[in-house]
A and B are shown apart, each in its own frame.
Chain A
Amino acid sequence: MPLLGNTAKTERPENWEAQLRKGCLELAILASLWERRLYGLEILRLLEEDSDLVLAEGTVYPILSRLKAEGLLQSEWVEAEAGHPRKYYWLTAAGKAKVVSMARFWSSFSHNISTLLKPVLNGKGGR
């Protein structure tokens, strides 16, 4: 199976950073829609400003499709002055609940990891 072989190759442990980014991307996308409706490129711009989460821009769109299929997002095509329509997304009630619980989890999780990392970052001790 070429697909499987490919995945195995790209998910080596060295790719830890990429895996971490990927895991956070869903939370970041949902969070970016907290205040208002956005289309894909606007979400990307927000993510690029506030984080270095996105490696290939195209990865955001399949995730948006899935989040919509899962009922966390709703979308609508809006005709723009640009000459082509844009697909706007917003959070459903389920999406809002999900992003709140994800954010809470993230907050305590990252706090615990940071505490654990403090001695490592201080560079003292360690053999």
Chain B
Amino acid sequence: MNTGTCSPMIENYFAQLESKMADLPQNQRQEFLMELRAHVMDRLEQVAAPSEEDCRNVLNALGTPEEIARQYRMELLLKRSTWRISPISVLRTTLRWTVAGIQGYLVFIVAMIGYVISACFFVTALLKPIFPHYVGLFVNEEGVQIARFPMQPHGHELLGNYFIPVAIILGYLITLATTLLIRFLARHGRSLRQRLA
């Protein structure tokens, strides 16, 4: 490395820069300093025999050690701000977990209700041929009844044996609707979590 008469000036510059960056991780700092040294060498090689004046110009163009260290730190901060531990980011993470928890609970409840109702329809469809007077669609003063044990439901029966295909279709549709709703909740929850992230 031919830096002519200005080696001391360069060494002084890098010693200052290194001390200004002393608190930063060592391997990062060393690589950064090495890169800047390469820059200074390249700049000085453009001059046949660099004088102190040339050297000063190169270092001035680079900026003061304070400036460079400050900017390096600023850029580092810019990068780290995405995972820095601050009360706000911790709160957001907590909220995210809570939302995921509420969402998981909601999905579970929806799944339970939906699948139990559809299972009931399938069971009544199976039971209709076995207990034709106990199972069916009855309308009376209490409202609508599907099945009643141990007493027979009273009132007017609407569907008769058509109750079997209707119950199977309803059971199938409710199963389908539950599955779609769970999928929707999962997707919606994901986008909500992304918005919070």
Contacts and interface: CB of A to CB of B under 8 A. Distances in A.
Interface string B27-39: 0100110111111
Contact of A66 (B45, B70, B79): B79
B38 A65 contact: no
Interface stretch (A54-62, A95-103, A114-122): A54-62
Nearest to B60: A56
Interface stretch (B48-56, B61-69, B110-118, B126-134): B61-69
Count chain B CB atoms within 10 A of each CB in A59, A62, A83 and give the residue with the most.
Answer: A62
B86 to A, nearest CB: 16
Nearest to B2: A83
Contact of A56 (B39, B63, B73, B79): B63
- Interface of A, secondary structure class, is helix
Interface residues of A, number: 23
Given A41-B43, A85-B38, A87-B35, A66 B63 contact: no
Count chain A CB atoms within 10 A of each CB in B38, B41, B70, B72 and give the residue with the most.
Answer: B38
Given A56-B63, A61-B35, A65-B32, A41 B42 contact: yes
Given A58-B67, A59-B71, A61-B32, A86 B79 contact: no
B39 A57 contact: yes
Contacts of A56: 61-63, 67-68
Contacts of A7: 74
B151 interface: no
Contacts of B34: 85, 87
Given A41-B39, A57-B63, A85-B38, A70 B70 contact: no
Interface of B: 1, 28, 31-32, 34-39, 41-43, 45, 61-63, 67-68, 70-76, 78-79
The 7 closest A-B pairs by CB, nearest first: A56-B63, A58-B63, A66-B75, A62-B72, A58-B62, A58-B68, A62-B75
Interface of A: 3, 6-7, 39-41, 56-59, 61-63, 65-66, 69-70, 82-87
